[in-house]
Amino acid sequence: MRFDVISLFPELFEPFFTHGINRRAFESGQVAVKLWNPRDFAEGNYRRVDDRPFGGGPGMVMMAEPLWRCLQAVRAERAEPLEDQAPLVLFSPVGPRLDHAGVVGWSNSTGAVLLCGRYEGVDQRFIDACVDQQISLGDFVLSGGEIAAMALLDAVARLMPGVLGDEGSHQQDSFNTALDGLLDSPHHTRPEVWEGPHGPVPVPEVLLGGHHERIARHRREQSLAITAQFRPDLLDHARAQGRLTPTDEAFLALGKKL
């Protein structure tokens, strides 16, 4: 798959592609990414890409024309049939929140063109004419869409075969269908007893016994408990989808917390 990223600050992405385990997806080409700076398509000595908003107000607005020229260059290089063109995605508060299902969808796609807005936003005329989809990371404002683009690319990259050390790792992630959309259970590692700030804290004994069925049930109960405590909406959704067993419901009826 291929993602083309339109950003005024493409240099922000370079370290992202070369560090961490997910770099395997980018270095192997499983997730190909090309960066485009709309300033390269602006006119005049100053390569201006923004201007003051009509009607007054603070800040600047990204201009439609440089973005349009940049997008045309992206489309020309991708050389896709009109009916199969990759969608142009704008990171914006207007869009629905990115979730696990959305990430899985992108991981099974051929990619997209990602537009990273800056300043007060993008000229609405360009959005109306060219943007196919808008995505939000949540109800807060970032200085630009670069972090949002990295979040999407990171989430997609880790789902690619061979990227994670253990092929089953992402299957146990929070929100994954393997966990019925619930939060993941807590994790523990060595030492068996940690001399913490409030005294010794042992690993739960069930994790040390080697009894796989008991361990699996313990982790399921911990997943149910942490979801009920922190994200009951996910629990309600799993229940509505028929993903909770009678044993799950019996455990939840006890009202146990982590």
75: Cβ contacts below 8 Å, ≥ 6 apart: 85
Claim to verify: residue 140 and residue 224 sit in the same structural domain = no
Per the annotation, the verdict on 77 as an active-site residue is: no
Residue 117 is given by DSSP the state -
Region of poorest pLDDT, from 32-36, 39-43, 165-169 = 165-169
**Catalytically annotated residue among 23, 39, 48, 173:** 173
From edge to edge, which strands make up the β-sheet containing 32-36? 32-36, 2-6, 111-115, 88-91, 133-135
Residues 221 and 136 reside in one and the same domain: no
Residue that has been written with the tokens 């917390």 in this structure: 257
Is 166 inside any structural domain? no
Same domain, 145 and 190: no
- Give catalytic status of residue 173 as yes or no: yes
Domain boundary residue among 130, 157, 184? 157
- Note whether 153 and 3 are within 8 A (CB): yes
- Is 40 among the residues known to form the active site? no
- The secondary structure of the chain in percent helix, strand, coil, rounded to multiples of 5, reads 45, 15, 40
> Considering the domain boundaries, does residue 150 fall inside one?
yes
Within a domain: 163: no
| Residue 37 confidence class, pLDDT cut points 50, 70, 90 | very high
Q: Which stretch of DSSP H or E encloses residue 33?
A: strand 32-36
Annotated catalytic residue within 24, 69, 93, 231: 93
SS3 label, residue 50: strand
179 band by pLDDT with thresholds 50, 70 and 90? confident
Distance CA 75, CA 87 (A): 10
Same domain for 40 and 129, yes or no, is yes
The per-residue pLDDT for range 180-216, each reduced to its tens digit, is 889 989 999 999 999 999 999 999 999 999 999 999 9
**Both tokens assigned to 130:** 């060219």
**Whether residue 136 is found in the same domain as residue 196:** no
Contacts of 20 by beta carbon, 8 Å cutoff, 6+ apart? none
pLDDT band at 104; cut points 50, 70, 90 = very high
Catalytic residue, candidates 38, 66, 158, 180: 158
210, HSE (Cβ side, Cα atoms, 13 Å):
0
- CA 227-230-233 angle, to 5 degrees, is 65
What integer is the mean pLDDT of 83-109?
Answer: 96
Residue 171, pLDDT above cutoff 60 = no
pLDDT given for residue 170 in this prediction: 46
Its domain, for residue 34, covers 2-157
User: Which residue is catalytic, options 120, 184, 217, 231?
Assistant: 120
Longest dimension (CA), the chain: 71
Number of domains observed in the structure of the chain: 2
pLDDT value of residue 192: 95
Q: What is the pLDDT of residues 44-72, one digit of tens each?
A: 888 999 999 999 999 999 999 999 999 99
Is 158 assigned a catalytic role? yes
181 in the same domain as 90: no
Same domain, 9 and 127: yes
Nearest to 89 by CA among 72, 111, 110: 111
**In a domain? residue 227:** yes
> According to the model, what pLDDT value does residue 219 have?
94
We report the CATH number of the domain holding residue 83 as 3.40.1280.10
